[in-house]
A and B are shown apart, each in its own frame.
Chain A
């Protein structure tokens, strides 16, 4: 099973029960607004938040658990990995604190414990240990209106399409997270345009890491090319110089 979450923003009443449940399950301490916070309510101690979208809609923000995650591709020490269940999880023992994942994430999700002397990256881990035990994530369990539900990604996708087909006048004809940037495990359907979550009007279907991985494939060739070229030039020039200096003898 590929764990996934479907959030239907039309059902969200903005009660923050998911936020509280998340904090309880993950033992996150109470928070206060910090100087380094972004304006969306996600912090190192708040792994999900409710943001107000256009026309007073409530949209729950959390890690999208991309199918081809930029953070996983970017992490130089492999501290972030895509787990078999589908969650993007973090190993704080491997991390060296370069924060490249925070720069790479197209959704701007990972947060840093700036106030700590030994800081770590923090973000939603799709309650990986709970899911492994057969439970559902704390947030979906706590939701009183079933606005955010947990399940298999394929089933949730067909459920999303079923809801859109049933009420085409309510919903935008789009499932956010189905295909853009290679797809995500956390998908949305909504009556408002959720483009504001990324800042880009429309996202391409190619995953973000494709670009860097293409460039990285060229690395061995670039290295061999540069070394071979230099060795070759050196060989030619030394040979010529030898001929010039030793010319009269021959």
Chain B
């Protein structure tokens, strides 16, 4: 198996995995498949897919400018791959954005509802227009060999120069506007990155990145197709890139000094580390491209371009979220599902790119994949009927298999995820402690209720009143504690023991005693508890039990108490009787011993812990 085939196999697998995740994203929403939060509403999909993607696609406008405006004809051989990369890059940005938008089907609203104050409005418009421009710039490549579309091809060539100029104008705008996007967050972006000069910094680094991306991409494709990269042409791109890299670094530090935030450069911490890492990644290629021996060598070019590309994409990710200040929440780290989507979008774009260069004259010579042979018929000896064996399995068969298997793996990995938990983490309930006064604090966070059990019991009518609240008991129990069935603070839990019921009623032969309908034998299509256990709900109970599932502990407690409290407050005209603070009196009763709830009982058993 050659390297190209291996690459395609990996790309197809990633695409398959991403397909599974994409299904989950649109079926369940953003919450279950991402780690985005109210504190970090933008994550990997904006930081890398959009911010990084737009920057990575900067090669298109740089090279069209070089060839069609500056008329440097020796770059002509690499302008087509650059335009193709840019087009696919922007298409990937648009697709990535569709995953990130909460209401992607409303993306056309930007065309209709205008807010010209918003940098995002401008970025959106520019990306849409530039995507169209890039499509028109690239269309001559697939149409040139089709005689039927000759007219279109000629028309496209005629408008190429205006298109190129328009494309450069649009790129200038949105490459810089991606920086303006963050000008509105002075309290969010760390001062090492936040600057009124962000648009200028973004534009400069995008130009450098565009140049290096062409070098990087040319080396990658040459490696996979086993051809010689245009080392000399690329070397001159590298030598231009170093000026932009150096200029960017000068701007960056000058800006820091002028703003008076230079002292952050030495302040120890996460952000300083990020900053210096980023600067190193940008400074090293600037240096490498300045050494003629490195610049003209294969590996030197590749290493320098790779470092530079990584450094500037890293800068976009920093500004896009990684270097934001903590906002009262655990820091964001992308979920594997988010990474899968990002990788899937990149893989798909790469596959389309490979398709384009194999199918059309993107390069001056169309490369061939030696092992991409389509299905051949089995071969036989020309004279006799001796079977000479079947040909090797065609590549596309292997790719399809990898794609399907990866998608299956994705669905399998997603299946046990609590996609339906709606972001509520499980919180086991702890029993209430105490005697005459119960300390009810299910999740032991110190915000509880000192419940005067003896007093309420007396008010409700003494010993006979248990059933009013203890609406359902475990077998052979008189007053099961609430926590025994309501086992989670907020999530519903099962109060039903299937094994007990099956064993007691005769194991496998007894299914139809409860599952009266033959099919389907599900939890929703079955007798309810009360139909057999007539005495389950004692007469006089306040709560009626209708399903085998219990509501969360908090809801159970509140439903039990608040209803009566509200009624009593109305009857006795005492509004203070039904407020949160009527029961939740002391928000942090465990701060010190004196603040603990008073008890007349056997002594409250409070575990020794500190509130958060």
Seen from chain A, the residues whose Cβ lies within 8 Å of a Cβ on chain B are 13-17, 20, 30, 32-40, 42-43, 52, 70, 73-79, 94-100, 102-104, 106, 108, 111-112, 114-120, 144, 198-200, 208-209, 211-213, 215-216, 218-219, 222-224, 226-227, 230-231, 233-234, 237-238, 241
Contacts and interface: CB of A to CB of B under 8 A. Distances in A.
B104 interface: yes
B166 A227 contact: yes
A204 B558 CA distance: 44
Given A112-B38, A237-B69, A97 B184 contact: no
A147 B346 CA distance: 55
Given A76-B121, A98-B120, A114 B37 contact: yes
B106 A95 contact: yes
Contact of A37 (B37, B69, B122): B37
A13 B582 CA distance: 12
A78 to B, nearest CB: 4
A223 B579 CA distance: 60
B393 interface: no
A37 to B, nearest CB: 6
Contacts of A238: 71
A75 B118 contact: yes
Interface in B373-408: none
A100 B120 contact: yes
A16 B72 CA distance: 71
A16 B169 contact: no
Contacts of A20: 580
Contacts of A223: 169-170, 172-173
Interface of B: 26-32, 36-39, 41-42, 65, 68-71, 100-104, 106-107, 109-110, 113-122, 124, 161, 164-166, 168-170, 172-173, 176-177, 180-181, 183-188, 196, 199, 325, 327-329, 422-425, 489-490, 552, 554-555, 575, 579-581, 587
Contacts of B71: 234, 237-238, 241
B207 to A, nearest CB: 12
B423 A96 contact: no
B169 A226 contact: yes
B205 to A, nearest CB: 16
Contact of A30 (B27, B106, B327, B555): B555
Contacts of A42: 38
B328 to A, nearest CB: 5
Nearest to B68: A234
A187 B329 CA distance: 25
Contacts of A106: 186-187
Given A77-B110, A211-B183, A212-B184, A114 B30 contact: yes
B102 A120 contact: yes
B85 to A, nearest CB: 21
A155 B293 CA distance: 74
B329 A34 contact: no
B69 A233 contact: yes
B275 to A, nearest CB: 20
A157 to B, nearest CB: 24
A209 B552 contact: no
A20 to B, nearest CB: 7
B321 to A, nearest CB: 9
A35 B417 CA distance: 14
Given A116-B29, A215-B119, A36 B36 contact: yes
A43 B38 CA distance: 8
Q: Which among A30, A114, A117 has the highest number of chain B CB atoms within 10 Å?
A: A114
A52 B587 CA distance: 10
Given A74-B118, A227-B166, A95 B587 contact: no
Contacts of B554: 32
Contacts of A115: 29, 31-32, 422-423
Contacts of A96: 101-104, 106-107, 109-110
Contacts of A227: 165-166, 168-169
Nearest to B199: A215
Contacts of B113: 77-79, 94
Contact of B41 (A102, A120, A211, A233): A102
A119 B103 contact: yes
A190 to B, nearest CB: 19
A33 B329 CA distance: 13
B41 A99 contact: yes
Given A103-B185, A212-B184, A226-B173, 8 more contacts: A52-B587, A74-B119, A74-B184, A95-B103, A97-B106, A114-B30, A216-B122, A223-B170
